[in-house]
Structure 1
Amino acid sequence: MSPEFFWCIIALFALAGLGAPIALAMIAASILYLLAKGQDPGLAAEQMIQGIYDGFLLLAIPLFIIAANVMNAGTISERLLHFCLALVGRFRGGLGHVNVVANMIFAGMSGSAVADAVGLGKIIIGMMTREGRYSPGYAAAITAAASTIGPIIPPSIPMVMYALVSDTSIGYLFLGGFVPGVMMGLALMVLNARQARRENVPLEVPVPRAELPRLTIRAFPALMMPVILLFGIYGGATTPTEAAAIAAFYALLVATFLYRAVSFPTLYTVFSESARATASVGLVIGASLIFNYIVAAENIPAAVSNLMQGLNVSPLAFLIGINILFLILGCLLDATTIILVIIPLFIPTCRALGIDLVHFGVTAVVNCMIGLITPPYGVLLFVINAITGIPLRTIIQAIWPYIGVLVAALLVMLLVPDTVLYLPKLFGYVPRS
C-alpha cells in the first residue's frame, strides 16, 4: 500500500467521522489521492461518467424506486394488510404474522427495505399498538426486522448494485434470493409466535373466511405485480432493466386508474422523492467507481487474495470470517457503501477459492440487510422512529432477538449453499465450485 493510498484512507475516515456524507468523503479522498500521485484530478469525473454511462443495469434502480414510491402513495399497503390479516391474523400473535407476511409480499414490489418500512410500518404499527395489544417496542422491532426481507425477495436494489461490481447475472441473483427471503420470514414468524405466547398477546377477531375472496380481489392487482415482473425476467421476455420499467408503469396504472388513489399533485411528490432518492444512490455509486479505480490501481484486491491463499483458509472459513466482518461493518456503515466499496475487495479471493459468486452475493446482501437494524447505525431503526415517534432506545432494546434469528438464518445459508443455489440451478445455472 502506497503512502498516498494510506492518506486517502485517513482522509476518508476523517471526513466521514466529521459527519460528511460518505459519497462526498469518498470523492474528496479520491481527489486527494490523485493530486498526491500527480495525476489529473479530472480523472475522478471521467471514472464517474464512464462507469455510469456503461452501467445499463443501473437504470433499474430509479425505476424500482419509482415503482415502490407509487405503491406507497396509493392504497396498496392497506389492501395488502387486510388481505394478510384474513390469511394469518387468526393465529396467536396474528398482527405480528401479518406484519411479516405483508412485508414478504411487498418485497416482490419494492426492492427496498426503507420503502417497505415506510409503506407498511406506520399502518401496521398503529394496528398493533392500538388498545395496548402489543407494546410499542415489540411492534417497532418486528416491523424493522421484517422490512429487511424487502431486498432479498426479488426485485432487489442492493442485488443490482452487487451485480454491477461483481459482473454476476442479476437474474440468477434474484432467483437466489427467493428461498433465503422465505427462510427469514419463517424465522421471524417462529420468534413472533414464541413472544406472543410469552407475553400473552390477545387473539385478533378472525376475519370470516367468506371475506377472503373479496379481500383477494381487492388486493389482486397489487399481488400480480411481482408475478408480471418475475415472469418477464425468467420467461426471457425482458431484461431486468426492462422489467423494472414495466413494474414502474404497471404500478402507475394500478394506483392511478384502477385504485384511483394517486392524483397529479401526489404524482409530482412521488417523482420528486424518487429523483432525490435516485440522486442520493447515484452519488454513492459514482463515488464508489472512483474509489474502486484507486483500489484497483493499488492492486489491493490481488493483495487480499494472495494473503488469504497464503493463510491456506478454506472456502467455508473464509465465508464465515468475511460475514463476521460484514456484520461488524454493518454497525458502522450503510449497506450501499459495503456493497459498492468493501465487497469488491473480496471478489477476487472468492474466485480464487472457488466460492460461487451468486451464493456469496446473496449472503452478503442478507448480511447488509441485517446491518440495517443493527445499532448504532441501523437505518431502519431511525426510519421507524421517524414515522412513529417510538423512542429509539425502546426500539433498540426490543430488536436483539430479531437480529439473533436473522443471523441464525444467515448461518444456515452459509452452511447449506443450496438454500441459495437451488432455484438458480433449476433454471440452468451452473454453480462455481
Structure 2
Amino acid sequence: MNFDDTPQEAEFRKLARQWVEANAPKELEAELSKSSLGRIRLQHHDIVEVGKAWQRKKAAAGWACLHWPKEYGGRGATPIERVIWQQEEGVYGKLTQPFQIGEGMCGPTVMAYGSEQHKRHYLPKLAAGEQIWCQLFSEPAGGSDLAGLRTRAEKKGDDWVINGQKIWTSGAHYSDYGLLITRTDPNEPKHKGLTMFFLDMKSPGVEVRPIKQANGMQEFNEVYFTDVVIPDHQRLGAVGDGWNVSLTTLMNERMSIGSRLATGFPEMFEFCSNLMLEDGLAIDDRATRSKLASWAVKASGLKYTSYRAISALSKGDRPGPENSIGKLVAGSMLQDIATHAMDLEGAAGVFTGAAEEEAQGQFQAMLLSSPSMRIAGGTDEILRNIIAERVLGLPGDIRVDKNVPFNKIPTKGR
C-alpha cells in the first residue's frame, strides 16, 4: 500500500494544518499531551465547556464530523481526508471527548434509522457542539449480556412509557440526548422483542446518579427511568427490531474505541528511555526491550487495522465484527503497559508531582482506568466470541436460552 499523499490530499493536509495552527488553544497543548496516559483531566478548565468551544469552532469552519454529509453538519469528506484531519488535529482531538459517543456511535445510528426530519434537526446540532449524546445500553442484571436487558417500554396511545435502569453510561451527567434500547415484548426470545428509541435526557422521570471511580474521576453513571414518556416518532427502526439497530451502534462503538483508545506506548517508550534503574536505563534491560518491541508491533497493527476499517467505510460498508479486534488488542495493551510501568517504578509509581514523579503518577492513573477499557464496548470475552464466530467462522457457544421467551428464562439458580 502507498501511504503517500496525492496532490489533492497534500493540499487538504496543508489547509488542515494551517487552520489548526491558527485556531488551536495552544495553552492546553502540554496538558493534553500528557492526558493520554489516563483520562483527560484539565487543571483549570472544564473539559465539557472547552470541548464545546472547540467543536463549535471546528463546525463553523467545516472541520467537524468531516465524513458526515453536508446536510447533516459534516463536510462530505473522504475517509482518507478524515484520517489526515485526525493526524493534523493531533492532541487537540482529545478536547472533543464528550462528543465521541455522539459522533462515533449515536450519530451513525440516527443517520441509518432516523427520519429525514430528525436527521436534519439533531445531527447538525451534534456536529456543531450544541448537543451531547450518550448511549443507554448496559444494565446491572445483564452484565455483558446486552440482550438480557430488562428496561421496559410499554405502548400507550402514540407514546411509550419507560421504566428500568441503565448503568455505566458514560457522559450521562452532561448529555442532552441518549440512545435507549428497551424490551417491548418479553414473550419473544431475548434478542427479539427489543426496540430502540432516542430521548431527551432532561425528560421527567430520568434520574442520573454519577459513579465515583478508583482513579478519582467521575465519567459514567447509573440512570433510572420512572414512567418516562417517549413519543413514538422517536423510535429508531421497527418495533421489535432493536437488536439489529443496536448492532449499528455497537459496531461503530468498537471501531471508534479501537481507533481512538490511547495505549500509552509512545509515553512508555520515552519513559523507559529515561528511567534509571539500579543496573542502568530501563530500555537497556533485555526483558523490557522485548516488551517494547511487542507493543510496537501491536501499535502498528492497530494503526493500519483502523485504516482498513476506514477504507471499508469508504465503500459504503457498515463497520463489521472485525473491528472488535482493535478494541480487544488496545484494551489489554493499555493495561499491560501500565502494569509493567508500575513494576519498573516500584513504590515511586504512586507519587505525583513535578518532572519524573508526575510521569510516574500518570502511569498510576492509567492503571486505575485501564480495567474499564476492557469492559466498555464489550468485554474481552464477548469480543473473542464475536471474532471467533463472525470473523473466523468457528462454531458458536452453546446457548441454553436460545429461542426461549425472555420471560421464561430462569433468573435464579438453585
TM bin, normalised by shorter chain, reads under 0.3
What is the TM-score normalised by the length of structure 1? 0.26
Larger strand proportion, structure 1 or 2? Answer: 2
Larger helix proportion, structure 1 or 2? Answer: 1
What is the TM-score normalised by the length of structure 2? 0.27
Which one scores higher on RCO, CA 8 angstroms, separation ≥ 6?
1
